[in-house]
Chains A and B, each alone.
Chain A
Amino acid sequence: MTRLLRVELRHNAMVLLLPVVVALFWLTTYRKTVAMAPFWNVRAASLQLNAVLDFAVSVTGTAAWMGSREARHRLTDQLTVTARPRWARLLVPWAATAIWALVVYFGCVAWLYAATAHQASWGGPLWWPVAVGAASVAAFSALGFAVGTCLPSRFTAPLATIAAFFVLALSTQLIHGSQSYWNVSPIVTGPWDMAPQPGVATFYPFAPDLPIAQVMFLVGLTAALLGTLGLPAGAGGRPLRLAAAGLTGAGLLAAGTAAGLAGTGTLGPHGMIDIPALHDAASDRPLRYTPVCSHTAIPVCFNPAYARYLPATAGALAPVLDQIAGLPGAPARIVQESVTYRQEPGNGVAVFYAGRSAGPARVFPVVLADQVPGPAMTAAQMADQAASMYAGGLVRGVIGDGPAASPAQNAVARAVLTAAGVRQLTISSPSGKAARGTDAPDSGRQEVAPGTTAYAAAVRFAALPASARRAWLVRHIAALRAGQVTLEQIP
């Protein structure tokens, strides 16, 4: 068989198609994926989604071409009368097709993962999405080969290619919410309609529930399809055909079970599909990591995966932090928090974050814009958004917050933010429902309208030298927080 496989490997149509597949991968997967933020989970999800389409579609057509080869080349009679069982004979060109496709697939994965390893600041490769891709290659090659063998014609391969594309593309159209049998489709990497989130599998381990079900489905499908090739009367002896029937049955059982399992999945709080029968409780425990912190007056600490965003974000917050550092009520650290996810009606996904204090020192929690669904952002855009979202909250946490804030408190807060260069005064509460591009709800927010005495006091205070402003704050912060400072007392 090894020698036969060598012959088939030398003459496999997949060899001719390899440059096309690699070019397709570069065009539709590699370029798109490396343009994404260098988070392993984001890259792995993009790889699974796009590479499965590239490889599965092309390998289906190639395998159909190989499967129809005997009939197209009028070799059926000559090969029928050879001693080797037909099933064994057919499995060799299928294996050669799948091997070539898998070799190139793994090469492309290595290429993409090498680029990611070079760019990512933390974490490591996720292999389950890669396994789903590999299983897809095997399954779709088996599908194409079976179709080509059963319906041999020169039109089979192009038609199978087109059909494979539409089957994959349309397999997600019926997904409604996180609980769907269609999640077993190999191009589903998480809640459908929610792009891969950097925060997923960053604060908590990657939960492989869905990929396990997908691999199980694809392996079952492969076994069932290859088994059917051994069922016809001329495929081999009775023992061989019984084995083929057993393989087909086992494959169908595995595929059906996997689809059933996928249907029991729900969106977990950490942004991944949890399947109760496959879920490992260990993946619900937070990952241990050493945060990366800035050297600002108040340290800003991020998950190391977000290290590339730290300088810009810390830089954007630094002017505010310089003003409030050391004052009563100021946080000891600003720490990036994880978010939690919840399935909403339809395909909507709600993202929540909750502030928390850890240890004796007060911690101010932040969530970066990249952690919630929305378009990709540059580090500078994310830093601007972080400053506009959290600077107000930081200042109000020191000066006084809430609906009962005095005009003086509002004026000083406005002045500090203006002096820090934060033009959009938005004050976020430390907890709430996040939606990128909109501010978190802030019921205690008080506007300082131009033309009012509060506005004049704010302008006056902002115009002070930073050292004078800080000195005044140090002396009067207790009275200011207690609401005992009037607008007239603001220098």
Chain B
Amino acid sequence: MNVETEALTRRFGTVTAVAGVDLQAGPGVFGLLGPNGAGKTSLLRMMATAMPPSSGTLRLLGRDPGRYGSRREIRRRLGYLPQNPGYHPGFTVAEHVEYFALLKEVPSARIRAAVATAIDRVGLGDRRRSRLRTLSGGMLRRAGIAQAIVNEPELLLLDEPTAGLDPEQRLAFRALLRDLGQRATVVVSTHLVEDVAAACAQVALMDDGKIVFHGTPEALAARGNGNDAGDTPIERGYSAVLAEARS
């Protein structure tokens, strides 16, 4: 398993954002669903080693991120796209991706090819020399995905990656996710359930800091019925599980 958590908890003062999450995820695309404030981003940030858990255990790529040496090794093999990715506006797309490749300690000999591949995979090949300040929101999101995958990560964590993408880009992105999931563990946090249905093999639904469902998208869809809110079976399943968890 590339991600293993046990009673993972994160508190911010008196607020418990993640409350004792147990989770395992192996290679493939893993969807993390939940309403706003459910704790998805906090869980993802802990998985990304951006912040330590308050309690519980976390193992990533078979290592304990609490130890600096292991954490550094995990980070070499990690890709992360936060919910609101930042960027240096003066950098070009290629420089942005190269910058992260250098910080992720991609071997020098491989950087040029890795940057080109990452940019091509997100469909920004023709904008590689464009400064980031000139790009649209969707393009910036793709540039963010490119930096996340430039080191060919074994664990890729994407927080709301399809926000701002147009329908065509979302379709292309789902294909990219499926492709990345062939070799790596991809955890996608989203509240767009159709993305999960289309690309994920496993899905977890969070509410109030807890995992309230863990299974396949089909199993989630099966939890719904005609009376639940939603246009698609998986949306109805999503609504049914949340209603059950809150009752």
Q: Is the CB of A83 within 8 A of B108?
A: no
| Chain A hits for B78, CB < 8 A | 81
CB-CB under 8 A from A4, the residues of chain B are: 99, 102-103
Question: Which residues of A lie under 8 Å from residue B108 when comparing CB positions?
Answer: 3
> Does the CB pair B75–A82 fall under 8 Å?
yes
Q: Whole-angstrom distance from the CB of B70 to the nearest CB of chain A?
A: 11
Closest to B100 in A: A82
Chain B residues bordering chain A, tally (CB within 8 A): 33
* Interface assignment of B72: CB less than 8 Å from any CB of chain A: yes
With a cutoff of 8 Å between Cβ atoms, the chain B residues found around residue A488 in the complex are none
Within 8 A of B (CB), among A70-118: 70, 73-85, 89
Stretch of B44-52, B168-176, B205-213, B238-246 on the interface side? B44-52
Q: Which of B26-34, B79-87, B190-198 contacts A (4 or more CB under 8 A)?
A: B79-87
Flag whether B147 is at the interface (Cβ < 8 A).
yes
Q: How far is the CB of B82 from chain A (nearest CB, A)?
A: 5
A84-B105, A237-B72 known; A7-B82 Cβ under 8 A: no
Least CB distance, A257 to chain B, in whole angstroms: 33
Query: Is A423 in contact with chain B by the CB < 8 A criterion?
Result: no
Q: Report how far A82 CA is from B111 CA in the complex, Å.
A: 15
- Give residues of chain A (1-34) contacting chain B, Cβ–Cβ below 8 Å: 3-4, 7, 10-11
Kindly state the separation between the CA atoms of A484 and B141 in the bound complex, as whole angstroms.
109
Q: Which residues of B contact A79 (CB under 8 A)?
A: 103
Q: Is A270 an interface residue (CB 8 A)?
A: no
Which residue from A11, A74, A83, A238 sits with its C-beta under 8 Å from B95?
A: A11
Chain B positions within 8 Å of A7 at CB level: 95, 98-99, 102
CB closest chain-B residue, reference A11:
B90
Query: Within B87-125, which residues are at the interface with A (CB < 8 Å)?
Result: 87-91, 95, 98-100, 102-105, 108, 111
B137 CB, min distance to chain A CBs, angstroms: 14
Query: By the criterion CB–CB under 8 Å, are B80 and A81 in contact?
Result: yes
> With an 8 A cutoff between CB atoms, is A445 at the interface?
no
CA distance A82 to B102 in the complex (A): 9
| Nearest CB of B to A262, in Å | 40
Contact A82–B86 (Cβ < 8 Å): no
Q: Is A69 an interface residue (CB 8 A)?
A: yes
A83 near B103: Cβ-Cβ < 8 Å: yes
Q: Is there an interface contact between A81 and B50, defined as CB atoms closer than 8 Å?
A: yes
Cβ distance A71 to chain B, nearest Cβ, rounded Å: 9
Contact between B104 and A78 (Cβ–Cβ < 8 Å)? no
Name A83's contact: one of B76, B84, B85, B111 (CB within 8 Å). B76
User: Per a CB cutoff under 8 Å, which of A3, A69, A75, A77 touches B45?
Assistant: A77
Min CB–CB distance A163 → chain B (angstroms): 26
Question: Contacts A75-B86, A238-B68 known; A82 to B50 CB distance under 8 Å?
Answer: no
Taking a contact as CB atoms under 8 Å apart, the answer to whether A77 and B102 are in contact is: no
Closest to B147 in A: A78
Flag if A74 contacts B86 (CB, 8 Å): yes
Distance A75 CA – B81 CA, assembled complex (angstroms): 10
Most buried by A among B88, B91, B103: B103
With A7-B98, A11-B88, A11-B91 as contacts: A77 and B103 at CB distance below 8 Å: no
Q: Which residues of B contact A70 (CB under 8 A)?
A: 86
* A149: min CB distance to chain B, Å: 16
Q: Are B104's CB and A82's CB within 8 A? A: yes
Is there a chain A Cβ closer than 8 Å to B56's Cβ?
A: no
**Which residue of B has the minimal Cβ distance to A239?**
B68
Which residues of B are found within 8 Å of A237, using beta-carbon distances?
Answer: 68-69, 72
Bound state CA distance, A84 and B105, in angstroms?
7
Chain B residues, CB < 8 A from A80: 49-50
B147:A69 contact, CB within 8 angstroms:
no
In contact, B103 and A73 (Cβ under 8 angstroms): no
Given A81-B49, A237-B69, A74 and B84 contact (CB-CB distance below 8 Å):
yes
A229-266: which residues lie under 8 A (CB-CB) from chain B?
236-238
Residue of B with least CB distance to A12: B90
B68 touches A82 (CB 8 A): no
Q: How far is the CA of A89 from the CA of B108 in the complex (A)?
A: 16
What chain A residues lie within 8 Å of B82 (beta carbons)?
A: 77-78
0/1 interface trace, chain B 61-73, chain A, CB 8 Å (1 if under):
0000000110011
Shortest CB distance B206–A (Å)? 19
Q: Is the CB of B105 within 8 A of A69?
A: no
User: Which parts of A217-231 form the interface with B (CB within 8 Å)?
Assistant: none
Q: Quick check: B100 and A78 within 8 Å, CB to CB?
A: yes
- Option from A11, A77, A85 in Cβ contact (under 8 Å) with B50: A77
Closest CB of chain A to B74's CB: distance in Å?
9
A39-84 at interface with B (beta carbon < 8 Å): 69-70, 73-84
Q: How far is the CB of B104 from chain A (nearest CB, A)?
A: 5
CB-based contact A78/B85 at 8 Å = yes
Q: Which of chain A's residues have a CB closer than 8 A to the CB of B111?
A: 3
Q: How far is the CA of A7 from the CA of B84 in the complex (A)?
A: 23
B202 CB, nearest partner CB in chain A, Å: 23
Shortest Cβ distance from B47 into A: residue: A81
Tell me the B145-165 residues at the A interface (CB within 8 Å).
Answer: 147
**Chain A residues, CB < 8 A from B49:** 80-81
Q: Which of A4, A74, A78, A84 has the most CB of B within 10 A?
A: A78
Give min CB distance, A204 to chain B, whole Å: 52
Decide if A78 touches B86 in the complex (CB within 8 Å): yes
Q: Is the CB of A73 within 8 A of B86?
A: yes
Q: Is B48 within 8 A of A75, CB to CB?
A: no
Known: A11-B91, A83-B105, A89-B103. 13 other contacts (CB 8 A): A3-B102, A4-B99, A4-B102, A7-B99, A11-B88, A73-B88, A74-B85, A75-B87, A77-B50, A82-B75, A83-B73, A83-B76, A236-B68
Residues of B near any A CB (own CB < 8 A): 45, 48-50, 68-69, 72-73, 75-76, 78, 80-82, 84-91, 95, 98-100, 102-105, 108, 111, 147
List 19 A-B pairs, Cβ < 8 Å: A7-B98, A7-B99, A7-B102, A11-B88, A69-B88, A74-B86, A75-B86, A77-B50, A77-B80, A78-B85, A78-B86, A78-B147, A80-B50, A81-B80, A82-B75, A83-B76, A84-B103, A85-B72, A89-B103
Q: Which A residues are closer than 8 A to B by beta carbons?
A: 3-4, 7, 10-11, 69-70, 73-85, 89, 236-238
